[in-house]
Amino acid sequence: DTGVSQDPRHKITKRGQNVTFRCDPISEHNRLYWYRQTLGQGPEFLTYFQNEAQLEKSRLLSDRFSAERPKGSFSTLEIQRTEQGDSAMYLCASSLAQYNEQFFGPGTRLTVL
Amino acid sequence: AQSVAQPEDQVNVAEGNPLTVKCTYSVSGNPYLFWYVQYPNRGLQFLLKYITGDNLVKGSYGFEAEFNKSQTSFHLKKPSALVSDSALYFCAVRDIENNDMRFGAGTRLTVKP
C-alpha cells in the first residue's frame, strides 16, 4: 500500500502524559499536513510542512504541541502534558504540489483519560 | 480567512434518486474547492476539486460538483444515488495565500433502498 500511513491507530493515555504520533506520507509528496478532527466536526488544520520546513502553524497548535519532519519524509506530532480536551482524531495528509488534492491517512485516535 | 458552510447536517435520499449536498464558501481571493468523503473507520477520500476552468467538475464514483461564483457555492451532485454512497461528506476550501484548507462540518448522506 503506497498511501499515507499513521501509527499508532489508537492511543489511550492518562492526563499529563506525553504522546507522539508518526505519519509516513506518500513517498514523492513534499507537502505534509496535520489536522485534528473531533466528533461531528470537519478536520481542523494544525500545521504544514514543505519538505523539512514547517511553514505554517494554526493558532490551535498550543505550545504543548510540536511537530517535526526531520528529513523531509516522515513526520511526528508530539503532545506534551496531555489534557482531556486533546482527545480527538489526528489526521495526516500529504500532497505533491500546492494546489493538488491532499491524500489523508487513516488517523490516530487519541483518548486522554 | 477562508471558511466553508455545509447547511445540512443530514441528507436522506432514496436509491436511484438524484442527490445534492450543499456547500457555500468564503475566500478573499480565488477559491480552490474540494469534496472529500469519509466512510466509517476510514480516512478521508478525495472525490473532486475545482481549481480553474469549467464550472462543472466531474469526480470519482459518478459524483460531480458545480462551481457558482456569484452564489459562492460548490454543491456536490450525483444523478442516481446508491446505498453505498451513504457516508459523511466534507466540503473544503483554500485560497492562494494560505496553505491551510478549511473544512465544513460535514453532511451525513443516507441513501435508503
Query: For position A1, what pLDDT does the model report?
Result: 54
Question: Does the structure show a pLDDT above 80 at A99?
Answer: no
Neighbouring residues of A63: CB distance < 8 A, sequence distance ≥ 6: none
Rounded average pLDDT over A75-92: 97
B31 touches chain A (CB under 8 A): no
The secondary structure of A11-78 as a DSSP string is EEE-TT--EEEEEE--TT--EEEEEEE-TTS--EEEEEEETTEEEEE-TT--TTEEEE-TTSS-EEEE
Q: What is the pLDDT of residue A36?
A: 96
Percent of chain B residues topping a pLDDT of 90: 78
Question: Parallel, antiparallel, or unpaired for β B107-112 and B87-95?
Answer: antiparallel
Which of the two residues, B40 and A112, has the higher pLDDT score? A112
Q: Across all residues in chain B, what is the average pLDDT?
A: 93
Is B108 touching A (CB cutoff 8 A)? Answer: no
CB distance A40–B106 less than 8 Å?
Answer: yes
Name the residue in chain A with its Cα closest to that of B90.
Answer: A42
Other Cβ atoms closer than 10 A to B112: 11
Nearest CA in chain B to A98: B99
Strands A88-95 and A31-37: antiparallel
pLDDT recorded at residue A57: 87
Strand partners, B34: B49, B92
With the CA atoms of B75, B81, B82 and B84 taken in that order, what torsion angle do they form, in degrees rounded to the nearest 10?
20
B22 touches chain A (CB under 8 A): no
